[in-house]
Structure 1
Amino acid sequence: MTGTKITLAHGSGGLAMQQLIKDLFVKYFNNPHLSLMEDQAQLSLASFSNSTDKLAFATDSFVIDPITFNGGDIGKLAVCGTVNDLAVGGAIPKYLSAGFIIEEGLDLATLELIVKSMAQQAERAGVSIVTGDTKVVHKGACDKLFINTSGIGVIPENRCLGVSQVQAGDKVLVNGTLGDHATAILQARGELALSGDISSDCAALNELTELMQVAGKVHAMRDATRGGVAAVCNEISESSQLSICLKETQLPIHQEVRAVSEMLGLDPLLMANEGKLVAFVAAENADAVLAAMQSHPLGKQAACIGEVSDATTPQVVVEGLYGTHRQLQMPVGEQLPRIC
């Protein structure tokens, strides 16, 4: 690559763009599918049909500000986000695409850092980035870098997760502390002079989800990103027409997150996470699944935080220390814009 900044020529389809693709994207994402340099990835159908009767397909776009933060960056986030969307549906993630919209003037060194981070995270998650696209827009037309990732995974035969499987009596499990990602981004922005070194929980959860499903009957899982646990529980409650009661005393919340949320009037249950899932597990299997979660590095602080019931009016409530109850509503608007 020549120069130190992204120019419009890097998105023109000409020599500069070809050099960028070859010297950066192919260098870090290199695999047999991508190295063919076709306009599409050609994947063997036999490799899917031998192991599954269903494919899972997910897509997500990432516009986070800032693009690097304590615990991750937009590239790591883009890989983990789509891997997790597949994994919580019971799929084994296999292949990703990556689309980049780059602002003219972005440092090439910054772009390389992001691409390298994506490659490292994809390798850890056991997925291949097999196709992609690059666009460069005039300075000011986007903020540094936006990324879209789409993913394909396979769902093993006889595995069926979803809201239709959720039942009264199910236990509600989370794999660790809540609100870490949102707090890390607030600190990284530096707008509120917040001190501390809380790290984003950004991580790929597919290894953890497989471990959980071996341990016991998991009825449904969702990753608690924008809107946090509150959004997940309200979506499940509305779709299943069941109620969910969360125990405030059982919520795993880092002291630093609790302090920031109290200072700013935020609720950790509504704050974004990028490495946390909410699982709805058959009561008789809950202890086994929780133990399996706690045996994994991404689930050491896992906890059972509530239970599903068939109360007359479907709703989500939080039970406080002294037995008081408050309704936990679906988030209205965006608490923290450009959080992912």
Structure 2
Amino acid sequence: MSKIEQRVVENLLERNIGFPRPNVLCGPRYGVDCALVELDGGKAMALASDPLSYIPSIGIKESAFLSIHLTANDIATTGFSPQYGQFVLNLPVHVSDKELEDYWIHIGHFAEEVGLNITGGHTSFDSFSQSTLAGGVTMITIAERDKMLLASQAQEGDVLLMTKSAALISTSILAMTFPKYVERHVGKELWEKAISNFWSISVLPEAGVVQELNAQHKHIHAMHDVTEGGVLGAAYEFAEASRLGLFLWEDLITVDASVAEVARLFGLNPLQIVGAGSMLMACAPQAKDTVIEKFLGNGIPCAEIGYFSSWQQGKRIQRKNGLHTFTGPTKDLYWEVFAKYKQDEIS
């Protein structure tokens, strides 16, 4: 599994949108996490969709947590939490009534925690499916239009900030799925830390901090959630969505020690694999110290990793061996590695 190519998004999906409506402020667009629809009274409605997860190897509760927060993270890029959700379950037939009950009770619990009302959907079983993708969810939130952010709103000269660490979700799932293998090679302490990272994949806390910051002065102009392709892929998408260039310092990108060790064990680059749990933010340069201090004061690591430049300057990254250009994500190797180790029955 990897994201669809940029050219397909731009040449196919963005150009075939059915009946055009003038109040759609942002529809399908490369690098943008949410659609945005203008409503009456100065309001707007943000919508985001993602697959549901059902991964027996990590647990039913954990699968429900993923299912809620991966989509909620997209909504969080607006600076708000999700309010309503439509769920489509497409479960493998081997899922028992008890497993379905457990899964849905956890879904309800985590939805309540984030303020999400489940308004309906569809449920079915698929006799051919062996996938860990068990359907899909669309989440919606309504808020004041002028307070909502989009990933297309970064400005030239903005500082690029990131929260937490790269590759939190991918390395935590590897540690949970292959516990003996990971503990044996990285040690008990780093293995346990990698697993605990799983419960830090929500970026709704970041959205809450940004709401507070922007209430007085709009320090944060735009946000983008890190998913497939990792921090490098997300940074590229962010710049593309805003039609800007980008400069990154590779050695400033935060990589937790447990993340680094688990990624190394599986032969993966932590900067290029699924990274839910980290938020990228375009910050007014004069406000960066205030913003970083505010996040740290709320217990959320935050670091400066680059800046947005003119479109003509392209996407550049400073590595130890010099300055390089970089392009968007084409394949996230995490999925291949996960599938290979599962097939080999490594525990």
Aligning the two structures, in what range does the TM-score lie when normalised by the shorter sequence?
0.7 to 0.9
Note if contact 1:245-1:319 (Cα within 8 Å) is conserved in structure 2.
Answer: no
State the alpha-carbon separation in 1 of the partners of residues 180 and 335 from structure 2. Answer: 15
Alignment of 1:174-213 (within 5 A): 174-190=162-178, 193-195=181-183, 196-197=191-192, 198-199=194-195, 200-201=198-199, 203-213=201-211
* Cα distance change of structure 1 residues 64 and 100 upon mapping to structure 2, 3 Å threshold: closer
Shift of 1:146: 0.3
Tell me the SS of whatever aligns to 2:255.
coil
Alignment of 1:1-340 (within 5 A): 52-63=42-53, 65-66=55-56, 68=58, 73-138=62-127, 140-143=128-131, 146-190=134-178, 193-195=181-183, 196-197=191-192, 198-199=194-195, 200-201=198-199, 203-216=201-214, 217-297=219-299, 299=300, 301-310=301-310, 312-320=312-320, 324-337=322-335
User: What is the aligned partner in structure 2 of residue 40 from structure 1?
Assistant: none
State the alpha-carbon separation in 2 of the partners of residues 110 and 130 from structure 1. Answer: 22
Tell me the SS of whatever aligns to 1:330.
coil
State the alpha-carbon separation in 2 of the partners of residues 104 and 163 from structure 1. Answer: 39
Higher helix share: 2
State the alpha-carbon separation in 2 of the partners of residues 305 and 154 from structure 1. Answer: 31
State the alpha-carbon separation in 2 of the partners of residues 133 and 94 from structure 1. Answer: 19
User: What is the aligned partner in structure 1 of residue 187 from structure 2?
Assistant: none
Structure 2: which amino acid aligns with 1:310?
S
| RMSD between superposed Cα atoms in Å | 2.8
Note if contact 1:172-1:307 (Cα within 8 Å) is conserved in structure 2.
Answer: yes
TM-score for both structures, normalised by structure 2: 0.73
State the alpha-carbon separation in 1 of the partners of residues 212 and 89 from structure 2. Answer: 36
Q: Output one character per residue of 1:7-34: Cα deviation in whole Å (capped at 9) or x when no partner.
A: xxxxxxxxxxxxxxxxxxxxxxxxxxxx
Q: Output one character per residue of 1:273-309: Cα deviation in whole Å (capped at 9) or x when no partner.
A: 2222111111122222222222334x2x222222222
Structure 1: which amino acid aligns with 2:171?
T
* Cα distance change of structure 1 residues 161 and 168 upon mapping to structure 2, 3 Å threshold: same
* Cα distance change of structure 1 residues 145 and 105 upon mapping to structure 2, 3 Å threshold: farther
Structure 2: which amino acid aligns with 1:218?
I
The count of residues paired between Structure 1 and Structure 2 equals 285
Structure 2: which amino acid aligns with 1:296?
N
TM-score for both structures, normalised by structure 1: 0.74
* Structure 1 stretch displaced more, 121-130 or 206-215: 206-215
* Cα distance change of structure 1 residues 174 and 133 upon mapping to structure 2, 3 Å threshold: same
Structure 1: which amino acid aligns with 2:252?
Q
State the alpha-carbon separation in 2 of the partners of residues 109 and 274 from structure 1. Answer: 29
Task: Mark the runs of 5 or more structure 2 residues left unpaired by the alignment.
Answer: 1-38, 184-190, 339-347
Structure 2: which amino acid aligns with 1:133?
H
Shift of 1:49: 5.5
Structure 2: which amino acid aligns with 1:102?
L
